[in-house]
Chains A and B, each alone.
Chain A
Amino acid sequence: MWRTVGADHRLFLEATLPHLDAVWRVARQAAGEGQDPEDLVQETYLRAYAGFGSYRGENTRAWLAAICLNAARSQARRRRRRPWEVPGAAPPDALPRSRAGGEQSTADVANVVIAGLDAEQVSRCLALLPEPQRVCIMLVDVAGYTAREAAEALGCPRGTVLARVHRGRRRLAQLLAEAGVSHGRP
């Protein structure tokens, strides 16, 4: 009854569609300005399908993440933009790490961050992180990849992923605290 044009695409979809949420989360963060994350997800799956016949890896989720990141870079290159360009005037390294006048206290940072967050604000601050930290946080904390999967997707040691995630989280918390202070939150 259900004759199809080929069974391989069914196998492919069975293997890859369960990871759609993870790919979507990566795409949402990896898509540059003017890029539609849904287009990026579709492009990722079409690229993956084209390479599915020769794919011999064990971790499909990590493989999809790597394809998604490469697709985002390719699209950004086509647009002659950097894929994870930092918006705003201040480069990440020049951002203040604490409130003027000295170190912000532990309680301040954590409380401000936890107190009044919204996803849009987090997304804006995440965009301010240096690319390596941002990508690692995107994979591990946002998309739910393990450090090993993220390392496989990025082609770097697992310890490097852990270190980048740690530094990125701290920077993110500090940036959010800054944003909270500047918006008059306690």
Chain B
Amino acid sequence: MDGHDRVLAAFLAGELGPAEARRWDEHLLVCEACWRAVREDRAGRQAAQLLRQPAPPGLADRVAFAVEMAAARTAALRQVQLGIGSRRRARHDRRLRWRLAGAGAIAVGLAVTLMVVLLPGGRQAGTLPAAVAAVARYAQAIPAPAGDQHPQPAAPVQVGQPVTVTTGGQQIVLRTWRIGGTEAVVAVSGRPFPMPPGARGVSGLGMAWSVRQGKLGLYCVNGRISELLAAPVPAAELAALAARLPPA
């Protein structure tokens, strides 16, 4: 590109001063080559602008979800390192390194598993609404607790840190509780969880429903703050289990 073209490009970008721009305006009246360049530039710009399209619906949710999972993975790793690092650091340096590596690998593995399971295209949970399906998948992805070598406390104990996910435009905070040897996931959202096909309303509670999803029971109470409990217990026990958990 010669200097002439560079000035023309600056002229087309509106970057010339008033006097120089006026000179170019006059020049274009008499110079066929430059006039053609201007018309081609405009035509090319119009054509390229045809490709301006908004991001597809759902991409923002997908991106936000992926970032949240990355954040959860980072936090889990940090917690594992801090927790283990505080124990017998001086006496067990060597063993500690192995533990860190192993725990880190487990945390990463769990996070990756969750991403695979929860992201669109992962294992589907029937025809459940997206928000309910995400909670069900999350609950299904949690490994079963180890064998009962110790008596389980009756009071609920929170396992790990809360995880925030966004699906179908709905933001959900997921907490995992261990209660009497059962792992239960409680999802909390500012928007109601849609009632899936086949779910039945819970008597006495206008916006509550429950449904069975494989081995998992889902129990939901919608309100100003909506809660969805997912646990591998019989449907008849869901309400009692929910009552034992701390309020959101």
Inter-subunit contact B71/A9 (CB<8 Å): yes
Inter-subunit contact B60/A20 (CB<8 Å): yes
Inter-subunit contact A169/B40 (CB<8 Å): yes
Question: Of residues 100 to 129 in A, which have CB atoms within 8 Å of B's CB atoms?
Answer: 106, 109-110, 113-114, 117-119, 122-123, 125-126
* Interface residues of A, dominant DSSP: helix
Inter-subunit contact B64/A142 (CB<8 Å): no
Contacts of B248 in A (CB 8 A): 1
Interface membership of A45, Cβ < 8 A: yes
Question: Of residues 16 to 60 in A, which have CB atoms within 8 Å of B's CB atoms?
Answer: 17, 20-21, 23-25, 28-29, 38, 41-42, 45-46, 49-50
Q: How far is the CB of A25 from chain B (nearest CB, A)?
A: 6
Contacting A5 at CB < 8 Å: which of B32, B53, B164?
B164
9-residue interface stretch from A69-77, A78-86, A87-95, A170-178 = A170-178
Interface residues on B, range: 35 or more
Inter-subunit contact B10/A159 (CB<8 Å): yes
Interface membership of A4, Cβ < 8 A: yes
Inter-subunit contact B63/A126 (CB<8 Å): no
Which residue, A4, A8, A119, A122, has most C-beta atoms of chain B within 10 A?
A: A4
Q: How far is the CB of B27 from chain A (nearest CB, A)?
A: 16
Q: How far is the CA of A122 from the CA of B68 in the complex (A)?
A: 36
Which residue, B37, B48, B51, B225, has most C-beta atoms of chain A within 10 A?
A: B48
Inter-subunit contact B67/A13 (CB<8 Å): yes
Which residue, A50, A137, A141, A174, has most C-beta atoms of chain B within 10 A?
A: A141
Interface residues on A, range: 35 or more
Inter-subunit contact A9/B67 (CB<8 Å): yes
Residue of A nearest to B9 (CB): A166
Which residue, B39, B66, B161, has most C-beta atoms of chain A within 10 A?
A: B39
Inter-subunit contact A106/B39 (CB<8 Å): yes
Contacts of B62 in A (CB 8 A): 38, 42
Inter-subunit contact B53/A25 (CB<8 Å): yes
Contacting B63 at CB < 8 Å: which of A45, A110, A114, A147?
A45
Contacting B44 at CB < 8 Å: which of A123, A159, A170?
A170
Q: Mind listing 29 A-B residue pairs with CB under 8 Å?
A: A9-B68, A12-B67, A13-B67, A17-B63, A21-B54, A24-B56, A25-B53, A106-B39, A109-B40, A110-B42, A113-B47, A122-B48, A137-B48, A141-B45, A141-B51, A142-B51, A143-B52, A144-B52, A147-B13, A163-B5, A163-B6, A166-B41, A167-B1, A169-B44, A170-B41, A170-B44, A173-B41, A173-B47, A176-B44
Residues of chain A having any CB pair with chain B under 8 Å: 1-6, 8-9, 12-13, 17, 20-21, 23-25, 28-29, 38, 41-42, 45-46, 49-50, 106, 109-110, 113-114, 117-119, 122-123, 125-126, 137, 141-144, 147, 159, 162-163, 165-174, 176
